[in-house]
């Protein structure tokens, strides 16, 4: 009888990466804010060596930028960038999804079902009003799995990086119950169309999903600007 393997414990770098990513997406580290080694070391009880490992990975994910002679910063956000990002995602992610649906096998179908089931069982917002980090990871995984049937790894990497960059715009999001329910229904339709191998239907649903998310974010930003002005 084979021995059961113990789950691999995350490294210190992986723990700090997850904590930093969550703080950026929850708005604790606001767009444009500096990420100095001393401040981060004190905040996360992390060594400079660990931070030198983690910060470039966040740069790769599009959540952090590095400026020569200045250092690391949380990526800046703007309306124009969000619009351009939305156009890029709609063009590339739908193409990858189409290839994924055409080429995905039974294991891919099972992964889509499992990822959507987990996502549907989690609340987006915790009782304290903050974004549920477990939901964030399940949401990222669901969209990632949808594309994993695509055999073109280069296209998948581009699509996933654009999705990662778009996550930072959650700082503009609103916690509206009706909008959350609508988004959950969109995820369900997207999963169903993918499993039905309806390429054109899934592409249209994903395009609409991406654009509707942007519309919600832009409306939230407009309301916030009006409130503070």
Residue 1: the pLDDT is: 43
pLDDT bracket for residue 202 (50, 70, 90): very high
CATH number belonging to the domain at 79-228, selected among 3.40.50.620, 3.20.20.70, 1.20.120.530, 3.40.190.10? 1.20.120.530
- The secondary structure element, H or E, covering residue 46 is none
Using DSSP's 3-state secondary structure scheme, residue 171 falls into helix
Q: What is the pLDDT of residue 129?
A: 75
Q: Give CATH 1.20.120.530 domain extents, the chain.
A: 79-228
The residue among 181, 196, 179 whose CA lies nearest residue 112 is 196
Q: For residue 227, what pLDDT is reported?
A: 60
Give the CA distances from residue 151 to residues 34, 75, 96, 98, 120, in Å, rounded to whole numbers and listed in that order. 38, 30, 9, 11, 27
SS3 of residue 9 by DSSP = coil
From residue 38, alpha-carbon distances to 45, 51, 66 in Å are 10, 10, 16
pLDDT tens, residue by residue, 94-143: 999 999 999 999 999 999 999 999 999 998 888 887 778 888 889 989 99
Average pLDDT, the chain: 88
Pure H helices in the chain: 12-25, 37-44, 48-60, 79-103, 106-120, 133-147, 153-167, 177-195, 199-228
Instruction: Report the C-alpha gap between 47 and 11 in whole angstroms.
Output: 13
Contact call for residues 35 and 71 (beta carbons, < 8 A): yes
Token pair recorded at residue 77: 């956000």
Domain 12-74, CATH? 1.10.10.10
**DSSP reduced 3-state for 71:** strand
Q: How confident is the model at residue 177 (pLDDT cuts 50, 70, 90)?
A: low
Q: Is the pLDDT of residue 67 over 60?
A: yes
Note whether 111 and 149 are within 8 A (CB).
no
Percent of the chain with pLDDT over 70: 90
Cβ neighbours, 10 Å, residue 3: 5
Which residues have C-beta within 8 Å of that of residue 123, sequence separation ≥ 6?
A: 132, 135
Mean pLDDT score, 17-40: 89
**pLDDT value, residue 2:** 45
- Are residues 156 and 147 in contact, defined by beta-carbon separation less than 8 angstroms? yes
- Start and end residues for every CATH 1.10.10.10 domain found in the chain: 12-74
Question: Any idea which residue has 């021995």 for tokens?
Answer: 3
């Amino acid at each position: 009888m084979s021995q059961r393997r113990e789950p691999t414990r995350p490294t210190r770098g992986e723990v700090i990466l997850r904590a930093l990513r969550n703080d950026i997406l929850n708005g604790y580290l606001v767009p444009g804010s500096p990420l100095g080694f001393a401040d981060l070391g004190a905040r996360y009880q992390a060594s400079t060596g660990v931070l030198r490992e983690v910060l470039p990975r966040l740069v790769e994910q599009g959540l952090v930028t590095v400026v020569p002679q200045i250092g690391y910063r949380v990526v800046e956000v703007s309306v124009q960038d969000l619009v351009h990002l939305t156009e890029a995602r709609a063009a590339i992610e739908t193409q990858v999804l189409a290839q994924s649906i055409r080429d995905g096998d039974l294991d891919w179908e099972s992964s889509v079902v499992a990822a959507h089931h987990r996502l549907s069982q989690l609340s987006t917002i915790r009782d304290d009003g903050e974004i549920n980090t477990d939901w964030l990871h399940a949401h990222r995984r669901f969209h990632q799995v949808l594309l994993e049937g695509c055999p073109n790894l280069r296209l998948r990497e581009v699509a996933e990086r654009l999705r990662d960059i778009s996550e930072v715009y959650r700082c503009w999001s609103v916690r509206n119950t009706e909008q959350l329910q609508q988004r959950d229904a969109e995820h369900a339709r997207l999963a169903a169309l993918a499993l039905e191998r309806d390429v054109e239907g899934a592409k249209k649903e994903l395009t609409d999903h991406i654009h509707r998310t942007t519309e919600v974010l832009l409306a939230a930003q407009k309301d916030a600007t009006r409130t503070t002005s």
